Structure 1
Amino acid sequence: MTGSSESNEQGCAELSVAETLVQFPQPMGWPEMHRVAIDDDDAYLMRSTVEKVQRALAGVGYSRR
């Protein structure tokens, strides 16, 4: 493979990861987070982290559908 081909494939993979991260929490709401959390603090931490990732991705042009 050429360097530019590898770079393009890596760019596509990173795009796919970013798009997946943006969409992942959409079907996962508070009940699901709370159900898999160790306790309430863990659930709040998960929700906060997901929101931070979504805001960061939105800041560079990715947003939920």
Structure 2
Amino acid sequence: MTPPTGGAESGFLTESETLALAQFVKRVGWFEFTSNAADEDEAHLVKQAFDKLQDVLARAGYAPR
């Protein structure tokens, strides 16, 4: 996820950070969602957000196996 030309790099993830994030998103499971959410509805919303983030990362070429 590279910054646009002329962009300030500090506002963007490095390759290493992006890969680490993709690995983390892949490894987090339902236990983490439910144990860190206020209730089950919030856990489902967080899971949906993680699914979308994982999709964005995969489309950007960060789809860890």
TM-score by length of 2: 0.70
* Displaced runs of 4 or more, over 6 A: none
Q: Provide the residue aligned with 2:4 in structure 1.
A: none
Deviations 1:12-51 (A, max 9, x none): x611111111111333211221111101111011111111
- In structure 2, distance between residues paired with 1:61 and 1:25: 14
Structure 2 residue matching 1:63: 3-state secondary structure: coil
Q: Which has the higher contact order (CA 8 A, sep 6+)?
A: 1
Is the 2:26–2:54 contact (alpha carbons within 8 Å) kept by the matching residues of 1?
no
Asked if residue 61 in structure 1 is aligned to residue 56 in structure 2, the reply is: no
Q: Which residue is 2:20 aligned to?
A: 20
Please give the secondary structure, in 2, of the residue aligned with 1:34: helix
Q: Matched residues in 2 for 1:52 and 1:17: separation?
A: 18
Note the residue ranges of structure 1 that are not aligned, 5 or more in a row: 1-9
Matched, 1:29 2:29: yes
Identity level (%): 35
**Code of the aligned partner of 2:51:** E
Larger Rg over CA atoms:
1
DSSP-derived class of the 1:51 partner: helix
Structure 2 gaps, min length 5: 1-9
User: Greater helix share, 1 or 2?
Assistant: 1
> For residue 50 of structure 2, what is the aligned residue in structure 1?
50
